[in-house]
Chains A and B, each alone.
Chain A
Amino acid sequence: MQRRSIAFWLGAVVFLAAMLAMTQLVRNEYPFFAGYVILQFVVLAVAWTILGGYAGYVNFGTNAFFGVGVYTAVLLVKAFGAPLPVQIATAAVVGSLLGLGVGLLTLRMRGIFFSIATIALAIIIETSITNFRFVGGAAGIQLQRPPVTAPFDSYVKMLFFVQALLVVIAVAITRGIQNSRIGRGLHALRDDELAAECTGVPTLRLKLLACVISGALMAAAGAPAAMYLQYANPDSAFNLNYSVSVLAMALIGGTAHWIGPVLGAILLGATQQLLAVTISSEVNVLVLGVMLVLFVVAAPKGVIGLVQRQPKRRGGSK
């Protein structure tokens, strides 16, 4: 265990150093534009897995948390001209509160009812923002970027690095949960909620915790998007595509281990970035749909499952 932790943190430091070096060495801004989006999806997919994968509660409200992150940042910029770290931290707090609320309201529901309830929440929040004039209403709002901080020479590069930091934070938290008794408790309640309760697992408390952490991370991932696009409108900030993309990424990678959503987000995120440039955004959605269907039908345990399949003893069974 100990040795693995050292390896993990070493890997994290190397990753961040590489990302930082990239921002200093690469002149062209485009890789950072695309990379930012992929990193953002890594955070979202990893955060989603805490509740959707470990606990088995399929959250379709990723867009609600993401959008709330975006609009928390918008509001802070518009009202106080708050700096980026404050935007992200506040978004995380708001996201965790929203997670708590969502959890209290919906976590007693099972299966598809929970999923539908999360879609409903997203639409209700979006509608409220649409009717909130101060942040631009339905038409959206333009934002001015403040001057960039050294050592970065462009704002997008800085955002890219910030998102890389969020990736490390999200993965570290998710990994911590997975390796702790909280993770075991979540798995137990996913397998059988009543049996878990009767074995001493405080299921409601664990689910709330998962919802709060997951929500905080998702909102934090959304906060820098306002400055990334220099624009926000409810329609795109709360787009259902976020929910389905993130779900697809987690399922494609596999949800048994934190590496699953990371792989899934990189795989699908990179494919989408490539397609958006080379063909069109519609094909993007098509690829999303096809990949989702293909993986849930043919590889229910995702990429992780495909890799782990070999050593299973009962040969050839699904």
Chain B
Amino acid sequence: MFSIDLLRDAVVLGVLLGCFYAAVSIGLSISFGLLDVPQVAHPAFLVLASYGVYLLNDRYDIDPLLAGLMLAPLFFALGIITYRIYYETFERRGSDAAVRGIAFFFGVAFIIEVLIIVQFGVDQRSVTAPYIGKAWRFGDLRIPIRQLVAFAVAMGLTVLLAAYLSKTFMGRAIRAVAQDEEGLRLMGADPIRVKQVAFGIATAVVAVAGALLIVVAPVEPTLDRVYIGRTFCVVVMAGLGSISGTLIAAIILGVAESIVLTLFGASWAPAISFALLLGVLAVRPQGLLGR
């Protein structure tokens, strides 16, 4: 039955889960939050990265996190190509870019799903690493080490990206392009190139996040559909484009899911992120920590 201890455990696990959600959402926080690209294929890219990591881990026994890092340059290139196509076909022609953009990215997501199914089948896949399957115990609270790994990587990513965006020239240009494209052009920077790099970085981060995804739990080809809700929920709740906001929003989502899981069972879990998302959109569309 329900007890304070149970609730405490739920909150602790929820915070860890939330940090993991931050890691998988942070790329979207750049691509959708800052650049206004309706990247609904973000979760599909995430799952694609997971399968890439699976392949490297399964064939060559490479550590999943290292494999994620190895995939990052590839995903950086993938991001640049994706943005280029999006820009040339939609953004440049203006008007209903967003509407057709969503359709486009949904198409991309479906293509990725099927390619994964064709290559790997519909079964769940997982990776092996020394930290997977073990857990630390604090009294009767059991914390899987893989969750702690996810927590640490998420923290690292958040701090690194926040620093990059505020300290480096390119990072500041990326934040500027979101607010004042014309101003940036006057300063002599090419906003399209800046956006392209930003989208590349966002996608490179997805490669690392994809490694976390498969470290935390086994993946299947259609896993991206649940994560549409989770990632967009986090990014919208954070207030578009805020990196620190992303972490906080993700933790709110993680704790909410964890508590609902404890109280009502797993069958209600998929609706939590979407309900939160809907609530935020209806009540505070600029996000909880809106800019």
The answer, yes or no, to whether B160 is at the interface (CB within 8 Å) is no
Contact of B267 among A115, A130, A289, A290 (CB under 8 A): A130
A123 touches B229 (CB 8 A): yes
B274 touches A120 (CB 8 A): yes
Inter-chain CA distance A8–B203, complex, in Å, is: 51
Interface residues on chain B, number (Cβ under 8 Å):
39
Stretch at the interface among B112-120, B164-172, B176-184: B112-120
B99 touches A58 (CB 8 A): yes
B interface: dominant SS? helix
Contact of B93 among A112, A124, A290, A318 (CB under 8 A): A318
Contact of A113 among B89, B113, B285 (CB under 8 A): B285
A285 touches B113 (CB 8 A): yes
When distances are taken between beta carbons in the complex, the residues of chain A under 8 Å from B96 are 56
When distances are taken between beta carbons in the complex, the residues of chain A under 8 Å from B282 are 105-106, 117
Stretch at the interface among A159-167, A223-231, A263-271, A291-299: A291-299
Contact of B271 among A58, A109, A123, A318 (CB under 8 A): A123
B38 touches A117 (CB 8 A): no
Stretch at the interface among A20-28, A150-158, A199-207, A243-251: A243-251
When distances are taken between beta carbons in the complex, the residues of chain B under 8 Å from A58 are 99, 102-103
Inter-chain CA distance A206–B52, complex, in Å, is: 48
Inter-chain CA distance A109–B232, complex, in Å, is: 15
Chain B, 254-291, contact with A by CB distance < 8 Å: what is the 0/1 string? 00000000000001101100110110011001000000
B107 touches A248 (CB 8 A): yes
B228 touches A119 (CB 8 A): yes
A289 touches B98 (CB 8 A): no
B274 touches A123 (CB 8 A): yes
When distances are taken between beta carbons in the complex, the residues of chain B under 8 Å from A120 are 229, 274-275, 277-278, 281
When distances are taken between beta carbons in the complex, the residues of chain B under 8 Å from A247 are 103, 106
A292 touches B277 (CB 8 A): no
Contacting B at CB under 8 A, from A93-143, are 105-106, 109, 111-113, 115-117, 119-121, 123-124, 126-128, 130-131, 138
When distances are taken between beta carbons in the complex, the residues of chain A under 8 Å from B103 are 58, 247-248, 251, 292, 296
The answer, yes or no, to whether B66 is at the interface (CB within 8 Å) is no
A109 touches B285 (CB 8 A): yes
A127 touches B268 (CB 8 A): yes
The answer, yes or no, to whether B109 is at the interface (CB within 8 Å) is yes
Inter-chain CA distance A121–B271, complex, in Å, is: 9
When distances are taken between beta carbons in the complex, the residues of chain B under 8 Å from A84 are none
The answer, yes or no, to whether A300 is at the interface (CB within 8 Å) is yes
A244 touches B229 (CB 8 A): no
The answer, yes or no, to whether A148 is at the interface (CB within 8 Å) is no
Contacting A at CB under 8 A, from B115-172, are 115, 117-118
Q: Nearest-CB distance from A78 to chain B (Å)?
A: 20
Q: Which residue of A lies closest to B104 (CB)?
A: A296
A interface: dominant SS? helix
When distances are taken between beta carbons in the complex, the residues of chain A under 8 Å from B232 are 116
Q: Nearest-CB distance from A286 to chain B (Å)?
A: 4
B271 touches A128 (CB 8 A): yes
B110 touches A286 (CB 8 A): yes
Known A123-B274, A127-B267, A290-B111; judge A244-B281 contact (CB<8 A): no
Q: Which residue of A lies closest to B264 (CB)?
A: A131
Determine which residue in B99, B102, B278 has the highest number of CB atoms from chain A within 10 A of its CB, and name it.
B99
Inter-chain CA distance A285–B267, complex, in Å, is: 26
The answer, yes or no, to whether B84 is at the interface (CB within 8 Å) is no
When distances are taken between beta carbons in the complex, the residues of chain B under 8 Å from A251 are 100, 103
Known A123-B270, A130-B267, A282-B117; judge A112-B111 contact (CB<8 A): no
A283 touches B106 (CB 8 A): no
The answer, yes or no, to whether A168 is at the interface (CB within 8 Å) is no
Known A240-B225, A293-B111; judge A56-B275 contact (CB<8 A): no
**Mind listing 9 A-B residue pairs with CB under 8 Å?**
A115-B38, A116-B232, A116-B236, A127-B268, A285-B110, A291-B107, A292-B104, A292-B106, A296-B103
19 more contacts with CB within 8 A, not counting A105-B278, A119-B228, A286-B111, are A58-B103, A60-B106, A105-B282, A111-B38, A113-B285, A119-B274, A120-B278, A123-B271, A123-B274, A130-B267, A247-B106, A282-B118, A285-B110, A286-B110, A289-B108, A289-B110, A293-B111, A296-B100, A297-B104
- Residues of B at under 8 Å CB distance from A? 38, 85, 89, 93, 96, 98-104, 106-111, 113-115, 117-118, 225, 228-229, 232, 236, 267-268, 270-271, 274-275, 277-278, 281-282, 285
- Residues of A at under 8 Å CB distance from B? 56, 58, 60, 105-106, 109, 111-113, 115-117, 119-121, 123-124, 126-128, 130-131, 138, 240, 244, 247-248, 251, 282-283, 285-286, 288-293, 296-297, 300, 318
